[in-house]
Amino acid sequence: MQPTPETLGNRRDDFFGRLERYRELVTPVLTAALPDKEPRRHLYDIIRAFVGKPGKGLRPALCIATCTAFGGREDDALPTAAALELLHNALLVHDDVEDESEYRRSEPTLHTRYGVPIAVNTGDAMNALTLRLVLKNLELVGAGKTWRILEEFDHLLVESLEGQAMELGWIRDNDTSVGEDDYLRMILKKTCWYSFIHPCRLGALLAGRSDLERFDRFGYFAGAAFQIKDDLLNLVGDARRYGKEIGGDLWEGKRTLMLAHAFGEASPKDRARLAAMLERPRSARLERDVDWMQKLLHETGSIEHATRAAAELARAAKTEFEVAYADAPESDEKSLLREIVAYAVEREL
Amino acid sequence: MQPTPETLGNRRDDFFGRLERYRELVTPVLTAALPDKEPRRHLYDIIRAFVGKPGKGLRPALCIATCTAFGGREDDALPTAAALELLHNALLVHDDVEDESEYRRSEPTLHTRYGVPIAVNTGDAMNALTLRLVLKNLELVGAGKTWRILEEFDHLLVESLEGQAMELGWIRDNDTSVGEDDYLRMILKKTCWYSFIHPCRLGALLAGRSDLERFDRFGYFAGAAFQIKDDLLNLVGDARRYGKEIGGDLWEGKRTLMLAHAFGEASPKDRARLAAMLERPRSARLERDVDWMQKLLHETGSIEHATRAAAELARAAKTEFEVAYADAPESDEKSLLREIVAYAVEREL
């Protein structure tokens, strides 16, 4: 039977319902890890409010579902899933400071509301509390696994910060030589490890697997498709559904696949104009400059090019998913994982 | 024999020479923990340069000397001492962003040189690499001790960030009701744990002691004396020797013991004027305002009051040192620890 719009709608509701169920498992573990004491007003209240408006929770869902798909216990994955979510939030707070982003999850970013000093300190505290959550694994899964979990977090964090350093460095230097391969190396570090590869590795590790490099290819393709999709939505998405400012990346001068492609394709004159616009600090950039850049990305076929690249990467991610999860028997969790992957790489919001 | 100025000079040289020797042990362990790879220019080169211009190294020295004073092996303390120093550097980088400080160790601060985005990310990476250094203890001292070390770092980091949240909150709210007891609670969190109590606890832990609360009173008095001294030097010190801008705390609106005292002692008119000056953002504060505040702190006897408080706390620290280290036999390390305490609470630079 072909799916009708209604059954598709139901399936979609079911998908979000299942993510919601995971969030309901993870959120109490996460909030229980937040100290219930002073200083509230300038620290813990801010963290509590931030994690109380969660995103989709794709990372914890990947971790929990991978754990159960490989025969592990759901409960064993909860502190680790909560730690992934808390660390994600910590990184978002600092990312927003670093990118001077004004909106996140349809609300003003933390530094917009509380100032840069308190936002930086709050992000630091969320990061520190992540370690505390990871250490909670000791009673639950024993020293050996907890140790391995710590090593995974160590790697994912350093990789993410290295990727962020690359991206910030390109903006600071107004580097116009950033190619598509540079961009892909950057998002492998900045996105793929912490959003896909490590959540899956951690889930499998908690289920007792040790062959964790099985997720590398899948996670790379999925993460790359996800990030390029995210960059595209930032350019051409619907602000209300996306929750961030549209065109924000252009205001920030962020190097994307589209920008790398446009630098290769634009006429020398347009290339020089593009470089000159990106040279200006964000505060000196004009609405009409951003509009012109947006138009250029269309004219050079860069948006189409990135859309195609994302689609190819998404296809590869789906193929590699079946390889990575080949010896996980079919189950509700495995279907959910497939849906998470499809959602992450194809979402329109 | 009474010490002559010359023998005092020699003793002083000897003291700095011994700190230097510890730095020579710790620095290679620290730099070996920094990845020797890309991204260099916008991450690892920056970290390497920053840790390559170290401070006095009081925290690692307290850790190593306490370990050996209690019969532990010097080598066992090195990764932990290096981790303390790296974390200290990470906190300094973010503190400078949060306080908008312009100078540190007689050089422009990281965000002044590389911009806030890269400074925040670099501080995050230094923090992340601290965990990596702590994990290195596993091979050296075994899982049990490494676990305890992790817990110590967890506590010291969260306490420091809580103290920082208090301080930043007072500035943000322009809170003029901050009393001397609030200030002392804040520096217990922000300074005492990470600069004194935990370095000593960690050293003793590495030497196999478990009665670590023995350092609480000593560390509190020493840390409080050290911080008040630091705040006084910021007001009345010699910029060249101090390495930071003199009066910087007044520019930043930082709540100090002097300011808390002045709010209690000033006339209602002066109090209102002080509050109005502190209300302004740093960029709108004037040289003559800062001069007036400095004068007020003298007139209200607040500088004298803080100088006296620091001296009393310093005396208490020395007394409590003898209690905390009572069952460590006299040794070179124990003498050095006494000198570190004396230096920290009495230094004039």
pLDDT tens digits for A127-179? Answer: 999 999 999 999 999 999 999 999 999 999 999 999 999 999 999 999 999 99
With an 8 Å Cβ cutoff, are A117 and B150 in contact? no
What residues in B contact A117, CB-CB < 8 Å?
97-99, 168, 171-172
Whether the pLDDT of residue B7 is over 60: the answer is no
Whether the pLDDT of residue B11 is over 80: the answer is no
With an 8 Å Cβ cutoff, are B118 and A169 in contact? yes
- What ipTM does the predicted assembly reach? 0.94
* Mean pLDDT for the stretch of residues A309-323: 97
Partner-chain residue, chosen from A118, A124, A164, that has the shortest CB–CB distance to B121: A164
Whether the pLDDT of residue A347 is over 50: the answer is yes
What residues in A contact B114, CB-CB < 8 Å?
172
* Mean pLDDT for the stretch of residues B43-66: 96
Give the distance from residue A183's alpha carbon to the nearest chain B alpha carbon, in angstroms: 13
**pLDDT at position A1:** 44
Give the distance from residue B44's alpha carbon to the nearest chain A alpha carbon, in angstroms: 9
Q: How far is CA A101 from CA A107, A112, A252, B286, in A?
A: 11, 8, 8, 30
What residues in B contact A169, CB-CB < 8 Å?
39, 41-43, 118
Give the distance from residue A326's alpha carbon to the nearest chain B alpha carbon, in angstroms: 33
C-alpha span between B203 and B117 (Å, rounded): 35
For the domain bounded by A5-346, which CATH number is listed?
A: 1.10.600.10
Q: Which of B127, B152, B156 is nearest to B141 (CA)?
A: B152
With an 8 Å Cβ cutoff, are B131 and A122 in contact? no
What residues in A contact B94, CB-CB < 8 Å?
120-121, 124
With an 8 Å Cβ cutoff, are B135 and A158 in contact? no
**pLDDT at position B165:** 98
Whether the pLDDT of residue B1 is over 50: the answer is no
CATH class of B11-346: mainly alpha
**pLDDT at position B10:** 63
**pLDDT at position B349:** 55
Q: Which residues contact A70 (CB under 8 A, 6 or more apart)?
A: A203, A204, A207, A208, A209, A328
What residues in A contact B168, CB-CB < 8 Å?
42, 117-118, 121
Q: Which pTM was predicted?
A: 0.94
C-alpha span between A60 and A73 (Å, rounded): 14
Q: Give the best residue of A151, A168, A190 to mutate against chain B (max B CB count within 10 A).
A: A168
C-alpha span between B70 and B264 (Å, rounded): 44
Partner-chain residue, chosen from B121, B151, B162, that has the shortest CB–CB distance to A161: B121
With an 8 Å Cβ cutoff, are A43 and B161 in contact? yes
The pLDDT > 90 percentage for chain B reads 84
What distance lies between CA A40 and its chain's CA centroid?
Answer: 28
Partner-chain residue, chosen from A127, A143, A168, that has the shortest CB–CB distance to B118: A168
Domain boundaries, chain B: 11-346
